[in-house]
Amino acid sequence: MLEETQEREEIIERIAALDIGKSSLVCCVRLPHPDRPGRRVQEVETFSTMTRSLGRMAERLRSLGVTRVVMEATSDYWKPAFYLLEAAGFETWLVNARDVKHLPGRPKTDRLDAVWLCKVAERQMLRPSFVPPPQIRMLRDLTRYRVDLVAAQTAEKNRAEKLLEDAQIKLSVVASDIFGTSGRAMMAALIAGERDPRQLAQLARSSLRRKISMLEEAFVGRFTDHHAFLLSKMLTRVDAIEADIADVDTQIEVCIAPFAQAASRLEHIPGVGPVAARAIIAEIGVDMSRFPTPAHLTSWARFSPTVKESAGRKKGSGSTSHGNPYLARVLGQIAVSAARTPTFLGERYRRIARRRGAKRAIVAVGRSTLIIIWHLLHDPEATFHDLGADFYDTRVNPERRARNHIRQLEALGYTVTAERTHLPTAA
């Protein structure tokens, strides 16, 4: 029995596709034939990726009446052409290269790739990738650069700790953070030439003073002028990066100003702080019309299990694939932070971690967080209300809870005989 579908066969009449390289690109334009209805004509031309050449290409596309321009996400080379055409008023689509499969046996050249991409795009067989608007792009540049700066600073701190180990200075064994006030004072004294363990230990502040004797033992080593030179350079780099992070944070505050209300509402979610809220907005924006439902957002972020079915059988373990690494990182940090709180998300993490492990719990809580974020951004009037850590206990079917307890006891080697003494009261 034939069933009607929602799709309509539609050809984009005037379309262009770009095969982009670092120094040049190939542009294929396909248009209706002026004299023969139902037939198509095409033009393939190579342009330099310099700005003036891209401007001439835009003028040519405008003269041909092109309405949509499609290009593959090739490294970062797509950005100049995309941004210029977007500013010129064209409907620009960035598509995933995996969606444009190269047919086996077909010769592969830049020209043929541009023609193939244009043919596939004109038949509506591609989906556009999410490219945020300019304001969000600037915020994204800053938040991603901040992540890189923090990683560079962490790497430099690790080098300093390894250098101290090389000098047999065991400061990191006694102090949880050697870059705190006490640790920095001690390292500065080492660089200045102080080698007496007692004098170095006396530089401890606050609670670290309770470990004076251990610190004296930790500073018995062979710290030389060679170590002092390297350590001074490492600490200088740590301080320089710290200053850069502060400058970037200041600029992030300027860019987040138009979205400050949305960011503040995200901070009500357990585990979401100011840095995480800004990173989330930088990666997904604030306009949820791009994601019609929460499921679209979680699928785009690759926080939904993949579906693989063949011959009536489901295959695979339901694992997720790789998505936006910056968004995945911040969602993972949120999940770990939420796990320490007496909240619904915290209890969800703990329940899943006990049964399935920490990695699956992080993905599950990350997906729940994304759903909450979608609702908060989709409806500006929406507010976050925590369901509470006892949400599961008050709503899980009593029979199911009894079976779970019985299975846990049987797993410990007990033989369980269950007998109901009274009916449970409503929660």
Strand 313-314 to strand 91-95: parallel, antiparallel, or no bridges (unpaired)? unpaired
pLDDT band at 105 (very low <50, low <70, confident <90, very high): low
250-259 residue pLDDT tens: 999 999 999 9
Distance of alpha carbon 179 from alpha carbon 388, whole angstroms: 37
Whether residue 427 is predicted with pLDDT greater than 50 in this model: the reply is: no
Predicted confidence at residue 186, as pLDDT, reads 95
Between residues 348 and 315, which one has the greater pLDDT? 348
Please give the span between the terminal C-alpha atoms of the chain, in angstroms, as a whole number: 49
Q: 149 vs 395, which has greater pLDDT?
A: 149
Beta bridge partners of 18: 27, 71
pLDDT band at 423 (very low <50, low <70, confident <90, very high): low
Cα torsion angle, 369, 375, 378, 382, sign? negative
Question: Looking at the predicted structure, is the pLDDT value of residue 22 above 60?
Answer: yes
Residue (of 258, 248, 325, 267) closest to 286 by Cα position: 258
Reported as type and span, the H/E element at residue 402 is helix 398-411
Name, in order, each residue with C-beta under 8 angstroms of 107's C-beta and a sequence gap of 6 or more: none
**What does the pLDDT look like over 281-311, one tens digit per residue?**
999 999 998 899 999 999 889 887 766 555 5
- What pLDDT is stored for residue 168 in this prediction? 93
* SS3 state at 79: helix
Instruction: Label residues 108-136 b or e (16+ Cβ within 10 Å = b).
Output: eeeebbbbbbbbbbbeeebeeeebbeeeb
Asked if 153 contacts 244 with a C-beta cutoff of 8 angstroms, the reply is no
Residue range 303-312, pLDDT digits in tens: 877 665 555 5
Question: Average pLDDT, whole number, for the chain?
Answer: 87
> Within 10 Å of residue 374's Cβ, how many Cβ atoms?
20
b/e burial code for range 396-415 (CB count within 10 A of at least 16 → b): eeeeeeeeeeeeeeeeeeee
DSSP state of 102: P
Tokens of residue 350, six digits: 């703990």
Split at pLDDT 50, 70, 90, the class of 314 is: low
Classify residue 98 as exposed, middle or buried by CB count within 10 Å of its CB (0-12, 13-18, 19+): exposed
pLDDT per residue over 370-404, tens digit each?
999 999 999 988 889 988 888 877 776 777 778 88
| pLDDT one-digit tens code per residue, 181-204 | 999 999 999 999 999 999 999 999
- What's the average model confidence in pLDDT over 74-80? 87
Q: How many residues does the chain have?
A: 427
DSSP per residue over 210-227, as a string?
Answer: GGHHHHHHHT-S---HHH
Phi, psi of 47, rounded to the nearest 5 degrees? -125, 150
Residue 316 pLDDT level (bands cut at 50, 70, 90)? low
Give 3-state DSSP helix, strand, coil % of the chain, rounded to 5.
Answer: 55, 10, 35
Q: How many whole angstroms separate alpha carbon 195 and alpha carbon 185? A: 13
Among 195, 121, 276, 152, smallest CA distance to 113 is for 121
8 A C-beta contact, residue 72 and residue 95: yes
Q: Alpha-carbon distance 255 to 142, whole Å? A: 9
